[in-house]
Amino acid sequence: MILILTPNIEPESNTYQQLMAHLSCLPDIRLRVHREEGTEQTLTEIYLIGNTSSIPTEDMRDLPGVDRVVRVSEEYRVLGRHRDDDRSSHFNYQGLRFGQDTLHVFAGLCAVDTAEHVEFMMRALRDHGQVCTRMGAYKPRTSPYSFQGHGKECLPYVFDLAGKYGIKVIAMEITHESHIDEIQAALHATGNPTGVMLQIGTRNTQNFELLKIVGRQQKFPVLMKRGFGITLSESLNAAEYLASEGNSRVVFGLRGVKTNMGDPHRNSLDFAHVPVVKRLTRMPVCVDPSHAVGSRTRGPEGILDIMHATAQGVIAGANMVLVDFHPVPNRALVDGPQALLLEELAQFLEDVQIARDAYEKRVKLAARYEDELQSAVA
């Protein structure tokens, strides 16, 4: 059970003190307080943990300082979308809104190789009006003998160039807690020219210790990839590890799953889950067509499968697209064969926009039919 308090309530206030005193007397119930300081107001939520089934919702709603009450189901307590749950489904970072109602494209390099390539990429993004990108510094590789990413060495020039070209948010995978400090240090050293969205890769979806540590910091939002060999429910539970530790600024990323049914694509695409994740949780949903498709094959109309997959995600309401580009794919150190070319960036962005426009029309259509139904009933 979650008590959502009146906005801007102060922990020192009488109301708050009174409320907490009352709650602390509830038998067998532990309390957990989440405070989220936004630009306009501070939200305070109190989680009642334990057997809350016998506590009447109305009693809680009538307590001083309580604005409203959400009775959560067992699963996805913090991130879930529960009955009568009107908690927000967005967050702001670096002046951008990431919500179930927005769309951002994160085109960039799967793995940073040279400063020159980073600059090519970022300049192209700036020239096409983009302010987000993906840049891989830490690469988890199947074999220990493969290139593992340039790590912290490349961070200074990546961040500098981001600042130079107006990039506001970089999605960057981390595979160890120490990477958070390295990123923070490099941002500090370069004068905080950009922001970072920490990415948890598919191999670490159930690395719960890493999730807990990432969840304990609130500086960086998190892009949490679905585990490619586990169910959706298991992956959503894993995202909840982040939130249960305090960080609920989480985007959930679909990236295909491992089965024998996806061939000739590298993975089976799971973008049909876009509306499912948005229904079960309040997280914005990202799609990663590059890793899902894994090749530059194209349909008979000449459109790349990667673009088709992207359009499929976006027309169903995806809020973020993570996509690999590379100035010289055949010189990429990781996943070159699936990278789009810089010359394809313009078409890609226009293609995404067509799908987004279609999604918005579909939402309006649904609302119109809903209204008609309401009028008919009235």
Greatest Cα pair distance in the chain: 69
Binding letters toward a second copy, positions 114-143, x by CB under 8 A: --------------------------xxxx
User: Does residue number 103 form part of the binding site for a second copy (CB under 8 A)?
Assistant: no
Shortest Å distance, C-beta 154 to a second copy: 18
Residue type, 297: T
Member of 113, 160, 305, 335 binding a second copy (CB under 8 A) = 305
Cβ neighbours, 10 Å, residue 58: 8
The span of 113-121, 126-134, 152-160, 202-210 binding a second copy (CB under 8 A) equals 202-210
Cβ distance to a second copy smaller for residue 129 or 144? 144
Minimum CB distance to a second copy, residue 13 (Å): 30
Residues contacting 227, CB < 8 A, separation 6+: 202, 205, 206, 234, 235, 238
Interaction of residue 274 with a second copy, rule CB under 8 A: yes
Instruction: Pick out residues in 72-101 that bind a second copy (CB under 8 A).
Output: 74-75, 77, 81, 89, 100
Residue type at 99 in one-letter notation: G
280 Cβ contact list (under 8 Å, min separation 6): 76, 80, 81, 236
> Considering the complex, what minimum distance in angstroms separates the CB of residue 307 from a second copy?
8
Outline where DSSP puts E strands in the chain.
2-5, 29-37, 42-50, 66-70, 90-93, 96-99, 104-109, 132-135, 169-174, 195-200, 222-225, 250-254, 285-287, 320-324
How many other CB atoms are there within 10 angstroms of residue 327's CB atom? 21
Judged by beta carbon, residue 270 or residue 324, the one nearer a second copy is 270
Q: Which two tokens stand for residue 341?
A: 């070319």
- Nearest CB to a second copy, comparing residues 11 and 229: 229
Residue 216 token pair: 């304990």
**Structural contact between residues 132 and 106, judged by C-beta atoms closer than 8 angstroms:** yes
Q: Cis ω on the peptide bond leading into residue 264 (within 30° of 0)?
A: yes
Stretch that binds a second copy, among 20-28, 36-44, 126-134, 209-217 (CB under 8 A): 209-217
Beta pairing class for 285-287 and 90-93? unpaired
SS3 134: strand
Give the Cα separation of 242 and 225 in Å (integer): 12
**62 lines the binding site for a second copy (CB under 8 A):** no
250-269 positions binding a second copy, by CB under 8 A: 257-265, 268-269
- Residues 142-161, mask of contacts with a second copy (x by CB under 8 A): xxxx----------------
53 sits near a second copy (criterion: CB under 8 A) = no
Stretch in the footprint of a second copy (CB under 8 A) among 36-44, 114-122, 158-166, 293-301: 293-301
Is residue 184 close enough to count as binding a second copy by CB under 8 A? no
248 near a second copy, judged by CB under 8 A: no
For residues 213-232, which are near a second copy according to CB under 8 A? 227-232
Distance, in Å, from the CA atom of 178 to the CA atom of 180, rounded to the nearest integer, reads 5
Among 21, 54, 300, 330, binds a second copy (CB under 8 A): 300
Of 66 and 239, the one with the shorter C-beta distance to a second copy is 239
